[in-house]
Structure 1
C-alpha cells in the first residue's frame, strides 16, 4: 500500500470541512417562574394553629386528709354542680364529730349547773344571807361556763363540716379532664385529685413569635375555624396576651375567646386562628423576586415573552414576602425564580401552563 503524503491528508481535511454545513444557531430562551402581581388592602394576614381549652379549669382536692375509698368519675365524665366525685373513709371524721359532741354536752352540763348556782345565790343575796362577792364569783363562773359552751359548739360545727368534707363534690358544671388519685390511696388535705373544666366558656391557646406580637395584638378582625370543620369560620376575640415568652418555644401565648354558638368545639380539638386587618392597598412579592445590583433593588418584569429590569422600592417585610412601595403595578408578571441568570431583553419561557397570581390574603378568613 502506498503511503499518502502529509500534504494530501491536509488537503482532504480542508475539502471535507468546506463541504459540511455550519451548525444552526438556537435562540436562547431561558425558563423562569413568575407570578402576576395583585394588590391587597390587608396589612396583616396570618394563621396559627392552637388547641381548644376551657377558660376556667379547677384542680379539686379534699379539704381533710384521709384514705380514698371510692372514685366515681373517669376522665371525660360530664359532671354537674354538686355531683360526688370521690369519697374518703369517714370513720375517723365521724369519731371526731362524736368527740366534739360529747365535749359540747359536758360544757352545757357545767353551764347549767353554774346557772342554777347563780339563781340560788341571787335569792340568798336578796335575803342578805351571802355577801355580794360570793354572788359575783358565781356569776363569773356562769360566764366562763357559757364561753366553754360556745367554744364547744364551734368545735362541734367544725367537726361536722369536716365529716361532710369526706365527699368531694364538683362546684361547677363541666367535664373531668384529669384524675390524679385512685381508691385506696391516702391523700393530704388540699392535694389535687380531680381536674374539672367548665364547658360554658372555651378559648383557643396558641403561640406567636416575638416579631409579630405587637402587630397581631392590635388586630380586631380575628376568625377561628376548627380542623374538624374547616369550611366554617366564626369571629373570635383576643382575650389575653402573655407578657412573658414561653421558656421552651420562645413564643408568646395568645388566648382567643370562642363564641358560645360554636357548640361543636370540644376540649383538646385543633383550631386555626386567622388574623386580617385592612389598610392601604399594597403589592407583595416573594423575597426571591428581588434582583440587587449596584445598591439598587429591581425586579424582572415579563412583557410579551421578554424581560426588562424595573427598579422598585421596598416598604416593609411580611414573613417571606416583601411589600413594594413603588415601581410595579397590579397585573404585571414578575419573575420569581432565576433572576440572577437573566439580562435585559432576554426571551423567557414561563414554566407551567398558567402563570400563578401573587397570593392575596383572604379577607375575613
Structure 2
C-alpha cells in the first residue's frame, strides 16, 4: 500500500469518527432537602424561647465618685444584705470629713463667744450702761452664729456619710449578674458598677410578635419548660406586656412569672414558654413554611416516594389551616410519617429522581395534633 492510500484511509476514518453521535451524559440526581412528619401526638401550642430572669434587678452604684481600690465579688457570687462588694479610695472622702468637722468646731467657738456677748450686754443694758441698739446688734450676731453652727453640723454629717459611701454594700440578698467596673478604674457617682438579681420570684423574658399579643392578654396561665428538663412543665402567668414594640425587632417584650419554680432553676437558663393555640387544637400537622407553595390556585406540597436510595416527588394538594411563626398548619392532605420536600419546591419537577438530604440544622420537631389533645 502506497503513501497516498494510507493518507486517504486515515482521513476517511477521521471523518467517520467525527460524524458518529456522542454518548449521552447521565446527570447525577439533584439533592433535595426533605422533612419527615412526626407520628407522635403532642399538645397544640405556640412556643417562644426566652431567658430566666429575676423579677427585681437592681443597678448598684457608688453615691460618690472616686477610684476603685478593691472589688470583693465576681459575676455569679451569692451575696447577703450588708456584704461589702467594692470600695473606693477613702482618702479624699476622709479629708472632706475632717474639713467639715473643723468648720463645725470653728462655728461652735463663734457661737459660744456670741452667746457670752449677748448675756454680758443684757446685763449692761439692764444697768443702763449701754444702749439698746448695741444689744440688738449682739443678739443678731448670736442668731447668725447659731445658724452657722447648724449649717456646719449638717455639712459635717453629710461629709461623714460620704466617707461611708466609699464602701458599696449589698442592700438585698441575691446574685451578682454583671460587673461594670474594675479595680483602678475611676467612676462617677451613680455610674453602674454591678447588677444584682434579687432572690425571690423568677420569670422568663420572651419576645412576642404583635399577632400574638391579643392571645397573651387573654391567656390565664401558660406553660414553661426548661431546656435542661424538657419533660417538666411549670405553671406560668403572664405578668407584664411591654406597651410598645422594640424599634429593631418589632416585637413586644413579655415577662412570664413562674408560679412554682424548681430548686434547680438558675438565672440565665433558657426556657420555652408554651401558649395554647386554638387553631392547632382543631387538628393538623405542622410543616416548614418553605414546603408549601401555590399550584393551580391551591396550596400544595411535594410528597417524596422512596425508590431505593433516591426519591421521586409527587404533587399533593393540601389544606392550610393557619400560617404561623413556626410553620404552616396543614389540616388535610398529609398524614404523619410521610416525607415532603422542605426547600426549593418551585424547582422540583414531578417524577424526577432526587437524592434526599437532611437539613443542615435539626428542624423544630413537627407538631402533629388531634382534636381534644391535651394542652
Give the TM-score taking structure 1 as reference length.
0.70
Q: Does 1:359 align with 2:372?
A: no
Q: What is the aligned partner in structure 2 of residue 168 from structure 1?
A: 168
Deviation at 1:199, TM superposition (A): 2.7
Q: What is the aligned partner in structure 2 of residue 188 from structure 1?
A: 188
Gaps of 5+ in 1: 1-32, 300-310, 342-355
Q: Does the 8 Å CA contact 2:336/2:368 hold for their aligned counterparts? A: no
Match runs of 1:291-306 below 5 Å: none
Deviations 1:177-217 (A, max 9, x none): 11222222222212111111113121111222333232233
Deviation at 1:88, TM superposition (A): 1.1
Q: Does the 8 Å CA contact 2:286/2:330 hold for their aligned counterparts? A: no
Q: What is the aligned partner in structure 1 of residue 15 from structure 2?
A: none
Give the Cα–Cα distance (whole angstroms) in 2 for the partners of residues 228 and 183 of structure 1. 36
Q: Does the 8 Å CA contact 1:201/1:260 hold for their aligned counterparts? A: no
Give the Cα–Cα distance (whole angstroms) in 2 for the partners of residues 76 and 223 of structure 1. 27
Q: What is the aligned partner in structure 2 of residue 132 from structure 1?
A: 132
Q: What is the aligned partner in structure 2 of residue 9 from structure 1?
A: none
Secondary structure of residue in 2 paired with 1:133: helix
Relative to its length, the structure with more strand (as a share) is 1
Q: What is the aligned partner in structure 2 of residue 122 from structure 1?
A: 122
Shift in alpha-carbon separation, 1:289–1:283, aligned structure 2, 3 A? farther
Deviations 1:124-144 (A, max 9, x none): 111222211111111111000
Q: Does 1:255 align with 2:255?
A: yes
Deviation at 1:289, TM superposition (A): 9.1
Deviation at 1:336, TM superposition (A): 9.1
Deviations 1:293-323 (A, max 9, x none): 6x78999xxxxxxxxxxx9997755554457
Q: Does 1:96 align with 2:96?
A: yes
Q: What is the aligned partner in structure 1 of residue 87 from structure 2?
A: 87
Q: Does 1:214 align with 2:214?
A: yes
Gaps of 5+ in 2: 1-35, 302-316, 342-348, 351-365
Q: Does the 8 Å CA contact 1:286/1:336 hold for their aligned counterparts? A: no
Give the Cα–Cα distance (whole angstroms) in 2 for the partners of residues 52 and 45 of structure 1. 20
Deviation at 1:72, TM superposition (A): 0.7
Shift in alpha-carbon separation, 1:105–1:217, aligned structure 2, 3 A? same
Q: Does 1:156 align with 2:167?
A: no
Q: Does the 8 Å CA contact 2:74/2:176 hold for their aligned counterparts? A: yes
For the pair shown, which has the larger CA radius of gyration, 1 or 2? 1
Secondary structure of residue in 2 paired with 1:231: coil
Shift in alpha-carbon separation, 1:128–1:335, aligned structure 2, 3 A? same
Shift in alpha-carbon separation, 1:363–1:318, aligned structure 2, 3 A? farther
Deviation at 1:81, TM superposition (A): 1.2
Q: Does the 8 Å CA contact 2:280/2:329 hold for their aligned counterparts? A: no
Give the Cα–Cα distance (whole angstroms) in 2 for the partners of residues 333 and 186 of structure 1. 64
Match runs of 1:1-365 below 5 Å: 45-276=45-276, 282-284=282-284, 317-318=323-324, 320-322=327-329, 358-360=368-370, 363-364=374-375
Deviations 1:120-170 (A, max 9, x none): 111111122221111111111100000110110011001001100011111
Shift in alpha-carbon separation, 1:172–1:143, aligned structure 2, 3 A? same
Equivalent pairs counted in the alignment come to 303
Give the Cα–Cα distance (whole angstroms) in 2 for the partners of residues 191 and 200 of structure 1. 26
- What RMSD, in angstroms, separates the aligned Cα atoms of the two structures? 3.9
Secondary structure of residue in 1 paired with 2:69: strand
Deviation at 1:243, TM superposition (A): 3.0
